[in-house]
Structure 1
Amino acid sequence: MTSTDDDNRKRLVSVTLDEASLGRGNPDQEHERAVAIWDILEENSFTVSNHEGGPYVLHLSLVERKLLLDIRLADETPVVAHFLSLSPFRRVIKDYDLICESYYAAIRTATPSQIEAIDMGRRGLHDEASELLRERLAGKIDVDFDTARRMFTLLFALQWKG
């Protein structure tokens, strides 16, 4: 097997969000969600522990206040359905929501230095949430940091209030 074949086996080729679980965000949030999916598909590292490899398809949904990661092979053969408690994410989701509201308001009225300061805080919280996601998935699903960041964006999208 070539390294390209091996790389293709350790990646996502499709990511979808359950429409019934998905809250509608404002246009900025909707844009972030679309960009996160596009970025994941462009470059990601994703493997399921104790599985021979993908490429994988990921469907995210909320079920009884838990995140369901429905993972399948590219041909839709089921691999694993993993439920992830969102309790450890409550604080960071709440804080991230508040700072995102401030950021979206600032990009319309604030000075560039004010926007940059808010964005630094936003990125810091996003990084914290991404590391938490990687920790919570450890031993089950292995993702690189950038993939975890984009997955948190999608997890956050499922939390938006309609």
Structure 2
Amino acid sequence: MNKEVPVNEEQRQQGGERLFEVVLDSDSIVRADKDVERERKIAIFDLVEDNRFSPDGPDLGPYRLDLAMIRRKLVLGIRDEMGSEIATHILSLTPFRKIIKDYFIICESYYDAIRSASPKQIEAIDMGRRGLHDDGASILEDRLKGKITIDHQTARRLFTLICALQHRG
């Protein structure tokens, strides 16, 4: 079964260049520990609450975004409110590999630190984590140029979900 976030009616009425729903393909994700599951839920919630998302072409929004991994590639399926397919984009994850690996390492350090480290140590690790997150978001923005227009915050949240799809426990 797919993980879904309900549509916010106020946002649906606003329409336009935004996502009203994000669905992670259940076959693409692995059950993870509570920290990773929480990150997924927060990223989806935050993404639906505040985003800028506009596929190139006529504005048929708001949009539903289906994210999946197929043969080690990221698949972004874009649908309208009625469920009709608007576009599908398939991205190689090669440009993300190193940053995702580094992001997982620093996230693990962060989760360990919040249980036992000093606030100063946690802050230092979190600064590194945010930096990698920004780098991943910038790569995503570049990869989507000419396909989908997104703002940096939307790219950050999408990068979190890309990492969630890559997480193997």
State the TM-score, normalized to the length of structure 2: 0.90
Gap change, CA 1:6 and 1:52, over 3 Å in 2: farther
**Any stretches of 5+ residues in structure 1 without a counterpart?**
none
Of residues 135, 145, 153, the one that matches 1:138 is 145
1:5 CA drift (Å): 9.2
Of residues 115, 122, 132, the one that matches 1:125 is 132
1:51 CA drift (Å): 2.7
Contact 2:12 2:20 in 1 (8 A): no
1:29 CA drift (Å): 1.0
Identity of aligned residues (%): 52
Matches of 2:35 and 2:12, distance apart in 1: 36
1:142 CA drift (Å): 0.7
> What's 2:6 paired with?
none
Whether 2:56 is the aligned partner of 1:49: answer: yes
1:7 CA drift (Å): 5.6
Of residues 14, 20, 23, the one that matches 1:16 is 23
Aligned partner of 2:138: which letter? E
Matches of 2:50 and 2:12, distance apart in 1: 15
Matches of 2:126 and 2:39, distance apart in 1: 14
- Correspondence list, 1:6-155, <5 A: 8-155=15-162
Which segments of structure 1 move beyond 4 Å, counting only runs of 4 or more? 4-7
1:56 CA drift (Å): 0.3
CA deviations 1:98-129 (Å, max 9, x no partner) are: 00010000000100000000000000000000
Matches of 1:136 and 1:67, distance apart in 2: 11
Contact 2:18 2:53 in 1 (8 A): yes
Contact 1:13 1:55 in 2 (8 A): yes
Matches of 1:11 and 1:74, distance apart in 2: 11
**Relative to structure 2, which stretch is displaced further, 17-26 or 5-14?**
5-14
Gap change, CA 1:22 and 1:85, over 3 Å in 2: same
Matches of 2:90 and 2:22, distance apart in 1: 17
Aligned partner of 1:60: which letter? L
**Any stretches of 5+ residues in structure 2 without a counterpart?**
1-10
Matches of 1:23 and 1:159, distance apart in 2: 9
The higher relative CO (CA closer than 8 Å, separation ≥ 6) is in 1
Aligned partner of 1:137: which letter? L
Q: Secondary structure at the match of 1:23?
A: coil
Matched residues, number = 159
Aligned partner of 2:43: which letter? A
CA deviations 1:74-109 (Å, max 9, x no partner) are: 110110011010000000000000000100000001
